[in-house]
Structure 1
Amino acid sequence: MTQLIILRAFQGIGASGTYALVTVILFELVPSEKYASYTSILAAILGTSLVIGPILGGIICNFTTWRWIFIINVILGAITIVLLSLALPKNYPHHHLPESMYKPKTLSESFSRQQFGRVDFIGTGLLLCAAILLIVALEETGIDYKWNSGFIIAVLTISIVSWISFFAWSWRITSWDGTREPIFPWRFLTSRTCAGLFIIVFLTGMPLTVALVQLPLRFQVVNGLSQLNAGVRLLHFLAFTPVGSMVTAGVEGKFKVPPLYMFIAASCLQIAAFTLLSFSPTDSHINHAQYGYQAMAAIAIGSSLASLTVMAPFMVEERDKCSGSTSHRFDILANIVLAVAMAAVLQFRTMGGAIGLAIVTTVMNRYIKTHLSEILTPNQVHDILRSTESLVLLPPSALRPVTETFARGFNLQMRILIGTSVAQIPFSMLVWRKKQIVV
């Protein structure tokens, strides 16, 4: 298990880098007037993978060994490397410059000490430490530890210190005229529009990740479905997420509707969808209206993601956007800042999802622990919180009240998502401009 956890961490590093670079490469390859159309294409591809992924995972778990979940990524990764080597333009990301203005680096130059000196390892380490420890504290509270336990206090303290150190380091390295490129430039925080963008991206990441994890878990625990069947029941959510992104990007591009307006409308639709999901039945019966509510939530989330993705390149300060400049140095800096900005958007979305999932899990665990203590023994409650597979060990007389308690806990999680959806609207005012962004 230790080996699996460590290697999964390495897989996460590679996967997150790949996920971020796709968006960065997209915006560096196409002109700004085509952002909307290419965002819809990217959403369609991502949506297809979201539909296929859970089903393929369920098939693998039901009919073969779980190891194929990892082996298949080796095959897909090799195919991706071949496609990238054939598809990317020569001299990317400086492909639009005359060859006389840019000399391609050799392999040794690309991995030289000078190039590694530009990487913000300290900032990366501080951000990683701050985020991971915060998530650990939130997830472990309510199962093995209490809020006032020494472990939780120590972890939260280190996390807070790491956050403060991270922002202090970002300020220091941004103001320092050196070659190192900050992972998160300080001017992103001093800019009202950039800060607002990152906040609403953070809030938007919560419902996406929570829905992807908790909806199929509800089908398994409350409705007694298998992993494969639970994945199939999630198709309503997965299929409509890219639909929301494609329709939104198309409307923004064709009818010149400001992305901010579409985002606010999507937030309102999220509120309605999660309100309806919060009243789902607490028995084992599946109300077919739930699939419609899932589709509503998916369309709203997909619309929000598309709007934020389209807006992000325009949030970078004008002095940082030097695309088209005749200065080779300025053009390189423009690519760097745009890449950092897009990577930061994806980082905040992912971090929001992880922290949001940790929060709803903590609330759920506390609710379950409080309400099941009258029915089950402390050891039984602990085993269920550690793994819902322990439910099969319960006597039939206790199973129904336990699953009903879980159902109410899942409904409580949806009410938390109502709060995050509501919070998106006032924070979106931070990116308000007299002249709205139109693509």
Structure 2
Amino acid sequence: MNESTIALHELSFVPEGDEVLVGRLDTGSYAVFPADGAQLLRRLTEGMPLDAAAEWYEETFEEAVDVEDFLDTIRELGFVRETGDERAEPAAPVGLRRLGRAAFSAPAWVCYLAVVLLWLLALTRYDGLRPDPSQVFFVKSLLVVQLVITFGQVPLLLAHEGFHILAGRRLGLPTKLRLSNRLTYIVAETETNGLLSVERRKRYLPFLAGMLCDAVVLAGLGLAALAGRHADGSFSTAGRLCLALAFTVVMRIVWQFQLYLRTDLYYVFATALGCYDLHEAAKAVLRNRIWRRLGRPERQVDESGWTAQDRRVGAFYGPFIVLGFCTLAAITVFASIPVTLEYLRIAARALGSGRVDARFWDSALSLLLNAAQVATLIVLARRKRREQRRPLAPAAPGAVTTA
């Protein structure tokens, strides 16, 4: 007889249809359990001895359970408090929770909607407000344009991530900000620990809060540019600056549709479809499909590490990945290439004029700064590639990262 009890860490239980998402908030270890397994785990967390839990399970579900095997599973997940494990200290109160509630209160939503609607109305009346790549060059100096666009985005990015943080703090979840790089992008990311510990309907706002901020900022910049419009219909320097920054905000919104990356919209899709690791499951299903068609079954990976829903959705997630690459192509064709060509045209005119004047040095320094940025991105991309080659222990997603 095994009448011993098992010491378990504090766990969260979130019903997800016929299954239950169980996890530890302090470590971010989560796993999907069938409803009967989750009930058994609850009994163990309440201090029920192993043998008594096995008897309860057999009486309730009319089938036997291998408690020792079940114990091995939850031990691998880190749910069991091993000898020497320190008891987690009570979590400190999450700061900014009141501000988070205010930021997404009914009056705040009315203000956000009013700003966006006013901007949309202005778009129908003033063509110059519509986003256009030419708006980036709001002054003749390439160096000024580059510095303003680069550093002017910092407060806008912080506002974007700040909304993610406030949406998480509103739910009482700890959040933190970090910098990372994806492919050739340097991005700011908000890591929301424990987001999977709240019910599914409450996760959407933390995911979409950044895009909400971008929409309001875009509308605000457009209205600010309109306020500085001259009598002849032209925009002031401050107005052109607002339009230049507004164009970068548009690109950031469109960037979220690159669903082959873990963007904010990716998490919305995955949550709505009832998935937990759709990105990796879709890639695994696609790779296995390719290896099967090539007659190389030994190269296939075990798909049992993902839920049935992840595998089911991953089987037809391909079109969404294609949509992501189409978004990248659209950004390249309609934004990156026009801006780059105009930049090179202005720089070539200044450098090829035969005069070593202010325009010459302005363009030369701008090109040098661009070269330094590209070199930095290459170094960061190589470092990240080396880190990704290191073997990592499999872990269930616990801290959701939005960018």
TM-score w.r.t. the length of structure 1 is 0.25
Q: Of the two structures, which has the highest relative contact order with CA contacts closer than 8 Å and spacing of 6 or more?
A: 1
The structure where strand makes up a greater share of residues is 2
The structure where helix makes up a greater share of residues is 1
TM-score w.r.t. the length of structure 2 is 0.26
